[in-house]
Amino acid sequence: MAMPLGGILLLFLVLLAAAAAGGGGGVWAFSSSSSSSSYSRIGEQPLSLIGIHRATVGIDAAASVQASPRLLGVKGEDTAWVTVDFAAPHASDGDWIGVFSPSNFNASTCPGPSGSDSGPVICSAPIKYQLANYSSDYGKTGKGTLKFQLINQRQDFSFALFTGGLSNPKLIAVSNKIAFANPKAPVYPRLAQGKSWNEMTVTWTSGYDIKEAYPFVEWGMKWSPPTRTAAGTITFDRESLCGEPARTVGWRDPGFIHTAFLTDLWPNKEYYYKIGHMLPDGKIVWGKFYSFKAPPFPGQKSLQRVVIFGDMGKAERDGSNEYSNYQPGSLNTTDTLIKDLDNIDIVFHIGDITYANGYISQWDQFTQQVEPITARVPYMIASGNHERDWPNSGSFFNGTDSGGECGVLAETMYYTPTENRANYWYKTDYGMFRFCVADSEHDWREGTEQYAFIESCLATVDRKKQPWLVFIAHRVLGYSSGFFYGAGGAFAEPTARQSLQRLWQRHRVDLAFYGHVHNYERTCPVYDGRCASPERSRYSGAVGGTIHAVVGGGGSHLSNFTAEAPPWSVYREMDYGFVKLTAFNYTSLLYEYRRSSDGEVHDSFTVHREYRDVLACVADSCPPTIPPAT
Ligand SMILES: [Fe+2]
């Protein structure tokens, strides 16, 4: 049945709105790429569009693919641009080039019995792809050239030309193999605060098992001789994961993840460091040289600057995977933070980290993308649905958003100062701040282990010295007028606030941050749905309520809001961005929301508060007292 244009538009908008909840849902939409046969699913991992398990092989002698140069990273670089020339006798819009790593991607790499009639002929997804007609003359001439940016991720590469579109691919030509000079090289360091304030952890990835080389960090203060600290090594195998595609077409050997603990740091001191592996003959394979500033002592009065956002994901700088349609703001956010890195002390990426969704290779791509940030300032992550959720795996929500990862990737690739990384809640102090990071993918309600943690984290901070108390979770446990939460009527995860709001109020939590909804929203200081103050930009005096902020616009496709803003919603914006907090001293805090596109401030307020304001009784915040005798 034909539908008028207005009806089609309305249907599209309704579907778009339904998809805008930040979870795993999505709608089919035409891609902005140049291909007429190309379409993408908003919010869907692009690699999942490839029906690689259905692929057939029909090598065509008239088709060819060539990649150059053959040797990458000869000066120790961990990224390289590669030129791929290809030709096909019957060019069509559905042709595409897939990048495979390792280069040998035939049935011999399938788990279990392979090569049988019923088994797939290719059982691992490419790490990225481009449509052949991104090369403009391909349709006319049958010849094309594409540029790919590769990163060092432990294995060699080959490029394969497929016809038949993404969903029913037929392999017609495979390129020569290319490789990095040292595929095992230590790469992509990421810093995180340790369990104590004067400990920095360095985590990185390499191809060196502990049997082959000893991982360590060489580090020291500026102008002082270096010391060496050994690193631990962990990895995981296919059986550690919970389901498809992580265990099947999305599987890729993760290599080895190393973490060293640099301890007894001097507050605010600049340190340099270099990761390395000592081979049995005493030779050392070095990573790059970096530096970081040690964290301040808890309660130390000095300038402290914090960046918080969620839901960033990754995108490919070479236009692969549908021209970044998956997380369109990711590179902007990354690059804007890199530009301002001299003015950032610590970063919180509060869940929905890579959106790999079970395609393991994407974690390497993400760690490479954010390396300029993570190698210089602590990068603290929280767990989201795209890291953790999987049915019958202990996650609070039974969705499939992790693509079978069930938390293993997030818990392995990044260090967090949790007691048990499978329970992703932790506290961390940064000078005058305390952060209580919750795990919204595990039950947080009263009576649970996590509730006890949150209560203890909030209760044990000395507000004289650490006045700025911040609560963080991935899903919105506080307030959001995002379309999805508004449609549910709770304006948050159901039952979330009932369990937590008395804790926030009793312990005078200043700020609470969430992701999951891909937009920006800031509330008034609110308690039990009511604004404690009509003020919008200069807060002072007693903490009558907590200011909640949704900062889910890190990079993934944006989410819309309910038509009408609830009374507690002070500012909302459907754009990519992040929040930066600046603590000047014990009484002054600056809050800024900056857009990723230009780094400019589009919402801000200040808080001026003295210790007596934190002690002051407000609604439901103090135990009963006996009035003074008259
Ligand atoms: Fe999420």
Helix pair angle (330-339, 361-369), 10° resolution? 30
How is 345-400 classified by DSSP, letter by letter? SEEEEES--S--TT-THHHHHHHHHTHHHHTTS-EEEE--HHHH--TTTT-SS---
For 196-241, the pLDDT digits (tens) are 999 999 999 999 999 999 999 999 998 899 999 999 999 999 999 9
CA–centroid distance, 458 to ligand 1, in Å, is: 24
CA–centroid distance, 571 to ligand 1, in Å, is: 21
CA–centroid distance, 420 to ligand 1, in Å, is: 22
Tally of CB atoms within 10 A around 91: 22
For 449-474, the pLDDT digits (tens) are 999 999 999 999 999 999 999 999 99
CA–centroid distance, 550 to ligand 1, in Å, is: 12
CA–centroid distance, 352 to ligand 1, in Å, is: 5
In the DSSP assignment, the letter for residue 54 is G
CA–centroid distance, 213 to ligand 1, in Å, is: 38
CA–centroid distance, 390 to ligand 1, in Å, is: 13
Rounded-to-10 torsion of CA 120, 124, 125, 131:
-70
CA–centroid distance, 518 to ligand 1, in Å, is: 8
CA–centroid distance, 23 to ligand 1, in Å, is: 5
CA–centroid distance, 442 to ligand 1, in Å, is: 13
CA–centroid distance, 441 to ligand 1, in Å, is: 10
CA–centroid distance, 403 to ligand 1, in Å, is: 13
* pTM for this prediction: 0.93
How is 149-199 classified by DSSP, letter by letter? EEE--SS-BEEEEEESTTTS-EEEEE---BEESSTT--EEEEEEE-SSTT-
CA–centroid distance, 311 to ligand 1, in Å, is: 7
CA–centroid distance, 197 to ligand 1, in Å, is: 29
CA–centroid distance, 244 to ligand 1, in Å, is: 19
Q: State the pLDDT at residue 41.
A: 60
Q: How far is CA 505 from CA 42, 83, 254, 312, 469, in A?
A: 38, 58, 43, 30, 12
CA–centroid distance, 375 to ligand 1, in Å, is: 25
CA–centroid distance, 379 to ligand 1, in Å, is: 18
CA–centroid distance, 531 to ligand 1, in Å, is: 27
CA–centroid distance, 552 to ligand 1, in Å, is: 8
CA–centroid distance, 432 to ligand 1, in Å, is: 29
CA 546 from centroid of its chain's CA atoms: 26
CA–centroid distance, 355 to ligand 1, in Å, is: 9
CA–centroid distance, 69 to ligand 1, in Å, is: 39
CA–centroid distance, 51 to ligand 1, in Å, is: 25
Identify whether the C-beta of residue 308 lies closer than 8 Å to the C-beta of residue 345.
no
CA–centroid distance, 10 to ligand 1, in Å, is: 26
CA–centroid distance, 469 to ligand 1, in Å, is: 23
CA–centroid distance, 177 to ligand 1, in Å, is: 38
CA–centroid distance, 372 to ligand 1, in Å, is: 24
Domains (range + CATH), the chain: 49-180 (2.60.40.10), 298-615 (3.60.21.10)
Alpha-helical regions (H) of 194-279: none
CA–centroid distance, 437 to ligand 1, in Å, is: 15
CA–centroid distance, 367 to ligand 1, in Å, is: 19
Token pair for 230: 């050994």
Tally of CB atoms within 10 A around 387: 31
Q: State the pLDDT at residue 27.
A: 30
CA–centroid distance, 21 to ligand 1, in Å, is: 8
Write the single-letter amino acid at 121. Answer: V
> Which stretches in the chain have pLDDT values below 50?
1-39, 113-115
CA–centroid distance, 583 to ligand 1, in Å, is: 28
Q: State the pLDDT at residue 28.
A: 29
CA–centroid distance, 129 to ligand 1, in Å, is: 25
Q: State the pLDDT at residue 230.
A: 98
d(CA 434, CA 262): 21
Identify whether the C-beta of residue 613 lies closer than 8 Å to the C-beta of residue 597.
no
